[in-house]
Amino acid sequence: MKKILVVEDNEINMYLCCRILKSSGYEVIEARSGEEGVELTIKEKPDLIIMDIQLPGIDGLETTKRIRESEADDEIPIIALTSYAMAGDKKKALKAGCTGYVEKPINPDTLLGEIKKYL
């Protein structure tokens, strides 16, 4: 069973992501801050990470950079999940080390399609 880390501070979005992933047969690990996301990536070695960009403390872009610089496998796919939909935001996420980009509101088919590209 593939393991996915969801880094999301909004409880509704966390619940929705977890429901979608668990019903599709994935094991889910939850982190509610960037710092916790970095720690759990190193500890749990997930197969993929779904990264909210707007987080308390360090944001998702900085969290992604720290994961890429950590002892965790720097090949772990990281999908940015964001309500930022301005021109250039996708480019910023990819430059920070994200491998994919999905806009909120969360569409289950879009999210699962993006995950399937990388797993």
The CATH number of the domain holding residue 112 is 3.40.50.2300
pLDDT at 84: 66
pLDDT at 73: 73
CA separation, residue 67 to residues 19, 75, 87 (Å): 25, 10, 25
Q: Provide the phi-psi class of 50: left if phi over 0, else alpha when psi is between -120 and 50, else beta.
A: beta
- Which domain, by its residues, includes 10? 3-118
Low-confidence ranges of the chain (pLDDT < 70): 84-85
Question: Taking every pair of C-alpha atoms in the chain, what is the biggest distance, in angstroms?
Answer: 36
Domains contained in the chain, number: 1
